[in-house]
Chain A
Amino acid sequence: MPLGKTDAIEFIGVSKEFESSTAVENLDLAIPDGLITVFVGPSGCGKTTSLRMINRMVEPTRGRILIQGEDNKDTPAHELRRSMGYVMQESGLMPHRTVADNIATVPRLNGVSKRDGRSRALELMDTVGLDRGLAKRYPAQLSGGQAQRVGVARALAADSPVLLMDEPFSAVDPVVRADLQRELIRLHETLERTIVFVTHDIDEAVTLGQRVAVFAEGGRVAQFGSPEEILREPADDFVASFVGHDRGTRRLTFASAGEVPIRPLDAEDRPWGDWRLALDDAGRPAGWSIDDRTMVGGSLFPQGGSLRDALDSVLSSPSGWGVAVDDDGRALGLLSSDDVMDAAARERKSRYGVGL
């Protein structure tokens, strides 16, 4: 069956009321099969509650939730939960269990032998990029990033078609978070699971999501669509303000910078004037210099990157020239800000189909 054509999870008129407030109001949402769907919104808008209703950690006040067409109330709660991977903030690992035992939790609950559980755990450590040497460590001995990888491995061990992720990367530092996000996209490409991912970070939503549901106050879905659609045509003022003033730049994430010419470093006319790009022995950029002053370089434009990468490389560079690099980090050439802006303008025109 082609991915995204059928619904893995369907909310039908789901409401959740707490004593003094309504967390989710009459939610109708069809989460496509095999894609990453992100619930994004400010805190207190019911996105986590909605996620937790899928595996019945929260029971809805009204409405039904179908998993692959079956009402999730037809399965006993503990079996339903074992049939879906769940990754949470701060990893939620059992502090008294080793890494391997944590990963093997669900197989063990389902009666798999200790030995088989362990070998499965070791395989999954490879899958999520954890050194097998960490198998006997306890969670307290791991870094934040490692702990989250263990959390993901534990969720994968359920061998379920559905993964629920509740702000899994919000407690790790930005560098590790970017790493984990890339890793998740890679895992999703190889494993083809349906992933429901909750975050309050619109950048994360746009990076990971193939479908994004923007939640508004009172548990209403203000917009549901592809990240591009949401950035290009916010459904209302709430969505427009939530996606923020940066949405122009963010949208460039979806545009290729393939048309932006890369000027060779040894160009005769030296359009960058007296600026000189320093290279290390391996040919990687090592900062800019001018008039005997040396400055740290800006962000690098990876070959084949997006227009957003290209724009940032230009804006962050002391010389105003972005540095394009190949997969090994070696400098390929330079990008001019005019070329990048021209490409952005062409992209805008073709997107809206005007002024061509």
Chain B
Amino acid sequence: MTWLFHNLSYVGELTWLHLLQSVLPVIIGTVVSIPVARFAAVRRSRGAEGAGGASRARAGKARRGTVVNAAALLYTIPSLALFVLLPLVLGTAITSLTNVIIALSLYVIAMMVRSCVDAFESVDAAVLDAATAVGYRPARRFWAVELPLSVPVMAAGLRVALVSNISMVSVGAVIGIQSLGTLFTDGLRRDFTTEIIVGIVLIALIAVVLDRLVALAAAVATRWQVRS
């Protein structure tokens, strides 16, 4: 405890860095995932409408498979390797924040593409059909109907991605990127347990608080759902 009080500003700065690396990649990753997933999602359209309905459906399934599997593959790259390799591709310094934020965004994409595809596919095709039938044009239909209706499934995926990203941020500390993970590497090097415990508690705290915030925001955005 005494250690924490003496190092408040240091721990504060690390917390801020950790938050930044937790939140930014989730935002970037989600913003990238949404259009990718929308492109890949397979619409179960009403009947076999239009010429070439069946062949279009086959092409759609193939596209969905490629995108979802590519995203999943991304997740199999070890994080440490990605941190080290990315600078070679991007030309950034290995310890730069950009480097780590891009690497973490890739992991968020790996998780969120799948969730977003599921989310778009969860939207009732009859409702989209109805929206078109009453005169929505495609872009407005996407923003005003399809996206809001995919929030419930998307938010569930977002919470998983957010929490797993918060814990993954600490890995960056191994190659010297400052975050609450730094308290682990430092504590380990100095054989100083208090520092490690402070790190664990703070990371858990961030995870709980941010998760609750997302859950709350999702609840507000989905008031229309019947709750038991």
**Contacts from A to B (Cβ < 8 Å):** 17-20, 55, 57-59, 61, 78-79, 81-82, 86, 88, 90, 92-97, 105-106, 109, 138-141, 154, 158
Contacts and interface: CB of A to CB of B under 8 A. Distances in A.
A95 B127 contact: yes
Contacts of B131: 94
B149 A19 contact: no
A142 to B, nearest CB: 11
B135 A109 contact: yes
B49 A140 contact: no
A196 to B, nearest CB: 13
B48 A19 contact: yes
Interface residues of B, number: 29
Given A92-B127, A95-B149, A19 B53 contact: yes
Contacts of B124: 95
A3 to B, nearest CB: 26
A19 B52 contact: yes
Contact of A82 (B48, B54, B127, B135): B135
B137 A78 contact: yes
Contact of B126 (A79, A82, A88, A96): A88
B126 A90 contact: yes
A81 B48 contact: no
B127 A138 contact: no
A209 to B, nearest CB: 22
Q: Is the interface of B mostly helix, strand, loop or mixed?
A: loop
A130 B216 CA distance: 33
A78 B135 contact: yes
Contact of B136 (A57, A78, A90): A78
Contacts of A94: 127, 130-131, 145
Given A92-B127, A94-B145, A141-B226, A86 B134 contact: yes
Interface in B118-157: 124, 126-127, 129-137, 140, 145, 148-149
B134 A93 contact: no
A332 to B, nearest CB: 46
A55 B223 contact: no
Interface string B94-133: 0000000000000000000000000000001011011111
Contact of A96 (B51, B53, B135, B224): B224
Given A18-B51, A88-B130, A92-B126, A138 B223 contact: yes
B76 interface: no
Contacts of A154: 134
21 contacts: A17-B51, A18-B48, A18-B53, A19-B51, A19-B52, A55-B133, A61-B51, A81-B133, A86-B134, A92-B129, A93-B127, A94-B130, A94-B131, A95-B225, A96-B222, A96-B224, A105-B134, A109-B135, A109-B140, A140-B226, A141-B226
A140 B129 CA distance: 18
A81 B132 contact: yes
Contacts of B149: 95-96
Given A18-B53, A88-B126, A96-B148, A81 B224 contact: no
Interface centre among B48, B135, B140 (most CB of A within 10 A): B135
A20 B145 CA distance: 32
A140 B224 contact: yes
Given A18-B53, A58-B50, A78-B135, 12 more contacts: A19-B51, A20-B48, A57-B132, A58-B49, A82-B134, A82-B135, A88-B133, A90-B126, A95-B224, A96-B224, A109-B134, A109-B135
